[in-house]
Structure 1
Amino acid sequence: MPVTPAALTHAEDLADFVEASPSSYHAAEEVARRLQEAGFTRLEEADAWPAQPGGRYVVVRDGAVIGWAVPAGAGATRAVNVFGAHTDSPGFKLKPKPTTGAFGWLQAGVEVYGGPLLNSWLDRELRLAGRLAMADGSVVLAATGPLLRLPQLAIHLDRGVNDGLALDKQAQTQPVWGLGDPASADLLGQVAGCAGVEAADIRGFDLVVADSARGAVFGAEDAFFASGRLDDLASVHAGVVALEAAGERIAGDSNGPIAVLAAFDHEELGSNSRSGACGPFLEDVLERIYASLGAGPEERRRAYASSWCLSSDVGHSVHPNYAGKHDPVVKPVLGSGPILKINANQRYATDAIGAAAWVAWCERAGVAQQEFVSNNDVPCGSTIGPLTATRLGLRTVDVGIPMLSMHSARELAGVADLHALSQVAGVFLEG
């Protein structure tokens, strides 16, 4: 697919979105902020919710966010179309008592979060970001600028490094952030200063390490986009852009489905949390939406029977240097369109009915699409798709964009694919 001016604008907006979303908590708040600017009303879970159709709303639970638009003519059995994604990415999370160090170096105590490509985090300027729980009961988002680095050992001290690099997850992944005596230093103080709070008032924290470099378009004819956290902020961004653009039309419609963007946390850990896809967040929100339309369990189940979930997460493009790792026939490549993800063992939830629907949505959006399936000797990962299908019974299709360097500190996608995914998301949400 050609890289159009609209696709380049979309990529620049994605760079802004990723920069504003160094943690899942920031991503959830950024989605809420953007939807509010587009006319959505922010709700709190502890409050009573509006009880009439025709509205646009958004709610945040920790590092997850759900936004939705209810058509003005919606009744108790109106179908719902859910565009699902996740806000977290593999990397590192700060441990308790995080200020460490030795030999005049200040270091940060971190543990591995999910399954990152460890060596990709070496020799990059990194930042800390997340949330702080304060003594007065408030929760504050915090993010530093470039602060940390994982310096690699020089080749003169490890002559065999180019024959294979294996990092010890405890001893060799603790980044440096300054010089001095750890006994008189305070890493949390650095974070607190960026947030405008006192370190002494911090009672708890969820802080992750993020690459500080901005996303960039590059390559011949601007084909490529590189950034941290594309898994899965590329999908979250596609969904929020689509819902921003279509929300007002959906709410004013009488015939379309209820349109939902659901971005969950903790997918990289298996989704087992109150804000993950295995948790009750989406079900809680849908129950309250349908209750506002006068639906009981019977009506809600009837609505679910004609509903869809489009689970969007990244997938593998064929790698030109490792073609043997991919299926010998099905070889998606950057720039040729979003992918339909298929797996016989239901690691992805796509079936024949879902595949036909996906092709129709892509045709309506005017974008090319391609398929992804794993090499039989290289088992694939999974997504929120099977989890959502199992929990709610919604017919679910697993899709995404092809990419290289998945789980790297800086991943590689196709500019045209990023924009195309958002176009299909818009068609899907409008029904």
Structure 2
Amino acid sequence: MKDLFNFIDASPTAFHCVESVKKILDEKGFKELKESDDWKLKKGDKFYVKRNGSSLIAFNIPKSGFKGFHIYSAHTDSPSFRIKENPEMVFENNYVRLNVEKYGGMILSTWFDRPLSVAGRVVVKDGNKLTEKLVNIDKDTCVIPNVAIHMNHELNNGYKYGVQNDLLPLFGGEKAKGTFDEYIAGEAGVKKEDILGKDLFLYTRQKCVYTGVGKEFITAPRLDDQACVFAGIKGFAEAKGGSFAGVLAVFDNEEVGSGTKQGADSTFLEDSLFRVCEALSFTRSAYLRAVSESFNISADNAHGVHPAMAGKADPTSRPYLNKGVVLKFNGSQKYATDAVSAAYFKKLAMGVKANVQPYYNNSDVAGGSTLGNISTAHVSVKTADIGLPQFAMHSAVETMGSKDVADLVKIVKAYFEE
């Protein structure tokens, strides 16, 4: 699990998550292409392409044969607070807070009273060019202090938080006034006045740790969905390749609906698949035949049965932490799994002796959406929506089983070797 811990600790934002994936691909000899390039490809090539710096699609083209695409998709983003432009808000000449807004559906109360910092990307004027730079203030920089129970006796009785006042992080005292942009420029190694754009987020400083008396659990930020991203890149990088083109697709903005140019509801996957076939001199008909034989494992974490809220789970499908990968079903097709894709995924898991658990929402409790049915609207392939069972989804810090990632890695590796 050391590799998983290092991956998540190095990935405070979607931009850093893509950079962590890129690092592994570079070490395995993958070549970076740009969407603006003229792609010159041949059988056996290994490459990747990024969009927006927060989404990435990697390809491993088979050396001989080409039955179709084996796609594994996950998402790089997690709920957080986005920092607004001109964020400093000075309170009575004594404190500086930062103006933020919600990104995704987080559990707000979990962000109080813990060390936080700021990370993301900036766009910098570099002569006549614009250059993107990742930034991470790698120290305990902010905190969102709670109000004492003596001043809010309703705090434990369902208090409704307002982001615009209650959730603004404390950046510093009076001497911090006017320094935020200086800090960011310092991290980027540029002048403050050369920064023309920012995508900055708060993140919790907690590192990944084992919990449970026997290290049964992992407690960490951003397990949804960086644990699935890690399992995907691990299995993809270790696979020897097969008769299908291996495709690792990690998308941004799932937590806000995927409807961006870099989200699963964009043309990124469709464009990239077609361009690979075009570069290999496939006809349009040959491309469509390849898609018809393709498969997508859409990986996004799932809710484990919670010991304090067991009634929220389905009464007969009871996924537990450390009991295997979850296979998701939904009658309204929020999950794309059907009998055919479920059978294929189970067969894969059986072949590597990995455990699989079915997941259904309680029929009276609405569940969230994920990547599978969204991307299938653009690239219509057989799809299994899967995930790793966890507690406290969308908390600042979440908990999952310490055994389940290894099962998913085994399945992914076998999948990319077919």
Shorter-chain-normalised TM-score: which range?
over 0.9
Q: Which residue of 2 aligns with 1:17?
A: 7
Hey, what's the Cα distance between the residues in 1 that align with 2:154 and 2:102?
25
SS in 1 for 2:199: strand
Q: Which residue of 2 aligns with 1:295?
A: 282
One-letter amino acid matched to 2:97: Q
2:295 is the alignment partner of 1:308? yes
Give 1:83's match in structure 2, choosing from 67, 72, 78. 72
2:211 is the alignment partner of 1:218? yes
Q: Is there any run of 5+ residues in structure 1 with no aligned partner, and where? A: 1-10
Contact 1:101 1:181 in 2 (8 A): no
Hey, what's the Cα distance between the residues in 2 that align with 1:56 and 1:364?
26
One-letter amino acid matched to 1:117: I
Hey, what's the Cα distance between the residues in 1 that align with 2:20 and 2:39?
22
Q: Which residue of 1 aligns with 2:85?
A: 96
SS in 1 for 2:164: coil
SS in 1 for 2:345: helix
Hey, what's the Cα distance between the residues in 2 that align with 1:198 and 1:34?
31
Give 1:240's match in structure 2, choosing from 233, 237, 253. 233
Hey, what's the Cα distance between the residues in 2 that align with 1:60 and 1:20?
19
2:190 is the alignment partner of 1:197? yes
Q: Which residue of 2 aligns with 1:326?
A: 313
One-letter amino acid matched to 1:85: A
C-alpha RMSD of the superposition = 1.2
One-letter amino acid matched to 1:208: F
Alignment of 1:30-429 (within 5 A): 30-62=20-52, 63-75=54-66, 78-103=67-92, 104-136=94-126, 137-145=130-138, 146-180=140-174, 184-246=177-239, 249-250=240-241, 253=242, 256-429=243-416
Residue correspondences, number? 412
One-letter amino acid matched to 1:210: Y
Q: Which moved more, 1:44-53 or 1:336-345?
A: 44-53
Deviation, 1:124, is 1.1
SS in 2 for 1:110: strand
SS in 1 for 2:88: strand
Deviation, 1:101, is 2.6
Deviation, 1:160, is 2.5
SS in 1 for 2:232: helix
Contact 1:32 1:59 in 2 (8 A): no
Residues 367-408 of structure 1 deviation map (CA, whole Å, 9 limit, x = unaligned): 111011011111111111001111111111100100000000
SS in 2 for 1:396: strand
Q: Is there any run of 5+ residues in structure 2 with no aligned partner, and where? A: none
Deviation, 1:425, is 1.1
Hey, what's the Cα distance between the residues in 2 that align with 1:288 and 1:430?
23
Residues 173-230 of structure 1 deviation map (CA, whole Å, 9 limit, x = unaligned): 1100110167x42312212212222221100000111111110112132110011111
Hey, what's the Cα distance between the residues in 2 that align with 1:15 and 1:226?
10
Q: Which moved more, 1:59-68 or 1:80-89?
A: 59-68
Hey, what's the Cα distance between the residues in 1 that align with 2:262 and 2:352?
31
Hey, what's the Cα distance between the residues in 1 that align with 2:413 and 2:382?
18
Hey, what's the Cα distance between the residues in 1 that align with 2:210 and 2:187?
29
SS in 1 for 2:163: coil
Deviation, 1:409, is 0.4
Hey, what's the Cα distance between the residues in 1 that align with 2:409 and 2:117?
28
Hey, what's the Cα distance between the residues in 2 that align with 1:297 and 1:117?
46
Residues 244-281 of structure 1 deviation map (CA, whole Å, 9 limit, x = unaligned): 111xx21xx5xx21001000000011101111001111
Hey, what's the Cα distance between the residues in 2 that align with 1:351 and 1:201?
52
One-letter amino acid matched to 1:66: I
Hey, what's the Cα distance between the residues in 2 that align with 1:74 and 1:48?
23
One-letter amino acid matched to 1:398: D
Deviation, 1:161, is 1.5
Hey, what's the Cα distance between the residues in 1 that align with 2:151 and 2:228?
42
Contact 1:311 1:398 in 2 (8 A): yes
TM value normalised by structure 2: 0.96
2:417 is the alignment partner of 1:430? yes
Percent identity between the two aligned chains:
35
Residues 151-187 of structure 1 deviation map (CA, whole Å, 9 limit, x = unaligned): 11111211222222321121111100110167x4231
